[in-house]
């Protein structure tokens, strides 16, 4: 008897290439069934082109402040400047191959600019009862208003 040895290595894979993240690592995905109105499906395909990518984007957007899509954990905490992931592995690796633990920054209540790692909240005492929060961009303007005794909005 002759031995039939075949090379089963895939040289020309069939189907779509596997999706990769920004670092080139493979993203493992699984088909999932959802039921949509046919008109909605057609509208999404017409607007976005790819139904799967659009649905994934919408799910990520809907839960961006409730779920960390890097470590797949819902240990999220709202802090003064935004929402952060509290997963210890993520916190230890942040900046070293992992994205920032800040999932989304908030806006300054005074000038509506976005907080970021260079523009963090600053506290000013308006009176004995309250503290006013602004950002590094508008703090000088607010400090002048406090020194001059000008009321807000004038």
> pLDDT digit string (tens) for 24-35?
777 777 777 888
Residue 9 has pLDDT above 60, yes or no: yes
- Residue 116: per-residue pLDDT: 83
What confidence tens digit (pLDDT) does each residue in 69-118 have?
888 888 889 888 889 888 888 888 877 777 888 888 888 877 878 888 88
Closest residue by Cα to residue 76 from 104, 108, 34, 109: 104
DSSP 138-150: THHHHHHHHHHTP
Sign for the pseudo-dihedral over CA of 82, 88, 94, 99: negative
- Residue 8: per-residue pLDDT: 62
User: What residue ranges do the domains of the chain occupy?
Assistant: 32-62, 66-105, 107-148
Residue 152 has pLDDT above 60, yes or no: no
């Amino acid at each position: 008897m002759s031995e039939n040895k075949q090379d089963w290595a895939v040289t020309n894979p069939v189907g779509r290439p596997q999706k990769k993240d920004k670092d080139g690592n493979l993203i493992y995905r699984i088909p999932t069934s959802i039921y949509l109105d046919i008109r909605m499906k057609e509208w999404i395909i017409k607007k976005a082109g790819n139904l799967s990518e659009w649905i994934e984007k919408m799910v990520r957007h809907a839960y961006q402040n409730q779920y960390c899509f890097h470590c797949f954990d819902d240990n999220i905490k709202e802090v003064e400047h935004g929402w952060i992931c509290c997963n210890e592995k993520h916190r230890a690796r942040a900046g070293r191959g992992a994205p920032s633990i800040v999932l989304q920054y908030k806006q300054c209540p005074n000038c509506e600019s976005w907080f970021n790692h260079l523009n963090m909240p600053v506290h000013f005492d308006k009176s004995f009862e309250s503290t006013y929060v602004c950002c590094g961009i508008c703090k000088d303007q607010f400090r002048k208003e406090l020194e001059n005794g000008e009321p807000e909005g004038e």
